[in-house]
Chains A and B, each alone.
Chain A
């Protein structure tokens, strides 16, 4: 078997049993791996209506065929489960080395089911798999947990922090200390099963279909990544935060909970300032020639990050201009195991509730006003520990705003907090937010590439023409890339033909670019099907009222709203769905679903 290890590890925490099963190769190839294979397994094994935090939900850690191979960036994995935040399918992607290590231990995926009575961790050393007591790790931060379970250089650790243990609905799963499967509250699902960590040790190799061709293609793909100014220069030097000034420059940088798109403090909190003042070194995930990761230090904390989205959530969205405090808030998100986007965005929404006088006076025990730098650190800790008003915020911005009678102040889609691009200034990108299967997300069809950065070609960001077609194509290609085990950032330099070739060399298929896109479309439709069966349909394919009705008040996007109603019918048509957003029988049949 090439690319795949051929084995799935099933762990039943209720019974305390583990079992190794064979991977069905036909299914694996049909759904590629990672996000696709994880979706197929989850769809087949759980009732989509299940309570996400009940023992009946399952959580799947799944690799792609390129994970653990020499392919550039081949080390990513997916966490697939039903989200406690959104109720939709959750598939949360992460880098680092843990995913590749799982392959080296001999497994394509781990399926965790049931619930342990007491806190446990899973210890995998190739064929030896044990469920061990984690009483003395429960309550520990991610850094300490990782340190204690990393026994040698062939071992990698994935864990939750206190936030996941306390079922915070915006909790992340962390691996290798500071890499995050951040979104959709996947950490809370681990916590609900009393599963603190997964320690993986292994030294196997992944068999490749054509080693020579893999080597040749690696060389040319790596060269493309190095020659491309984005992946060869911009991302390595400044990290993802190089975008702060770009998105602020076009007036689409959400500020004060999306009340405007221009942030006065962009320069002080930019990637350039980060590089100048706080950057200690670059960091790279497994087999990555780009190295966009940051390691930063202030006089109070040091560690991995912050990323563009994190900087935005804690600075512009909360109107905070102090980058050192943002780095501190990021540090606590890593230690507590919190999604930085949802945490910052929930604090921002709480600040707007406070600004509008909508909170009960006795609720927050600490200043909760826009611009207060101490507040972002204070409330991050309170959310992670579910303390005081942090307990309300731990439910995410939607449930918090709903509690106070104003759900429209939650800047979220399907209850997942929106990331750092205001849809009023990037119309296609807004359509991806509205139709993403996991809710308000920027990495399910990154339309910023064509609409702002001109990659692979420039589309006018405020125009609507052809956007539904582009969104569908980006969504399908992304679903394929997410399933391979490669990093989405490679798509700044590589195209669908490159991915098909890399896949063929490793797995032994004879795919063209259109086959890769068709696999992506199949995965996208299966995710949609899961959501529909979970009771989440087209009525949730929308954006917060503010973005549809309130004109951007200033800057280069001034006067614009998001024109979703003009885009959505065409999008459904391009997707082969009916006017109610349901995939037609013909469409599903044509995709082999």
Chain B
């Protein structure tokens, strides 16, 4: 199972957390597509111990029991 945590306004549609059954060969982009998340509205993605901008994270392979955080563009300080 992959645990996907969503933040800020990405929660409006899917809530805080979605569990997706793991399939062999799964990549970050498979999750994004399955949840119908707008790619242009994604910013930081953390998948296990890797993190980066969404556009560079799409092909990161997933492992079973992995935790994935998906953020829209936000900032603070």
A243 touches B51 (CB 8 A): no
Given known A-B contacts A243-B77, A452-B44, A488-B77, A234 and B49 have beta carbons under 8 A apart:
no
- For B9, the chain A residues whose CB sits under 8 A away are 233-234, 237
A229 touches B72 (CB 8 A): yes
A245 touches B71 (CB 8 A): yes
User: Is A446's CB within 8 Å of the partner chain B?
Assistant: yes
Given known A-B contacts A237-B9, A249-B46, A454-B44, A230 and B77 have beta carbons under 8 A apart:
no
Kindly state the separation between the CA atoms of A308 and B75 in the bound complex, as whole angstroms. 10
| Binary CB contact string for chain B from 45 to 60 against chain A (1 if under 8 A, 0 otherwise) | 0101111110010000
Residues in A524-570 with C-beta less than 8 Å from chain B: 555-556, 558
Kindly state the separation between the CA atoms of A233 and B16 in the bound complex, as whole angstroms. 18
Given known A-B contacts A249-B51, A458-B53, A556-B50, A492 and B75 have beta carbons under 8 A apart:
yes
- For A271, the chain B residues whose CB sits under 8 A away are 8, 76
Contact of A239 among B41, B51, B69, B76 (CB under 8 A): B76
Residues in B24-46 with C-beta less than 8 Å from chain A: 41, 43-44, 46
User: Is A56's CB within 8 Å of the partner chain B?
Assistant: no
- For A242, the chain B residues whose CB sits under 8 A away are 7-8, 74-76
User: Is A240's CB within 8 Å of the partner chain B?
Assistant: yes
B49 touches A443 (CB 8 A): no
User: Is B73's CB within 8 Å of the partner chain A?
Assistant: yes
| Binary CB contact string for chain A from 431 to 443 against chain B (1 if under 8 A, 0 otherwise) | 0000000000011
Kindly state the separation between the CA atoms of A488 and B77 in the bound complex, as whole angstroms. 10
B73 CB, min distance to chain A CBs, angstroms: 4
Contact of B7 among A229, A240, A246, A492 (CB under 8 A): A246
Given known A-B contacts A242-B76, A492-B75, A453 and B43 have beta carbons under 8 A apart:
yes
Q: Which one of B11, B44, B73 has the highest number of Cβ atoms from chain A below 10 Å of its Cβ?
A: B73
Kindly state the separation between the CA atoms of A453 and B77 in the bound complex, as whole angstroms. 12
A490 CB, min distance to chain B CBs, angstroms: 12
A558 touches B8 (CB 8 A): no
Query: Which residue of A is nearest B17, CB measured?
Result: A267
User: Is A448's CB within 8 Å of the partner chain B?
Assistant: yes
Given known A-B contacts A453-B43, A556-B46, A235 and B11 have beta carbons under 8 A apart:
no
| Residues of A near any B CB (own CB < 8 A) | 228-230, 233-235, 237-243, 245-246, 249-250, 267, 271-272, 292, 307-309, 442-443, 446, 448-449, 452-455, 458, 460-461, 488-489, 492, 555-556, 558
| Residues of B near any A CB (own CB < 8 A) | 5, 7-9, 11, 16, 41, 43-44, 46, 48-53, 56, 69, 71-77
Given contacts A246-B44, A250-B46, 17 further A-B contacts (CB under 8 A): A229-B72, A233-B9, A233-B72, A234-B8, A234-B9, A238-B8, A240-B77, A241-B76, A243-B76, A249-B44, A249-B51, A267-B16, A292-B76, A442-B77, A453-B43, A453-B75, A556-B46
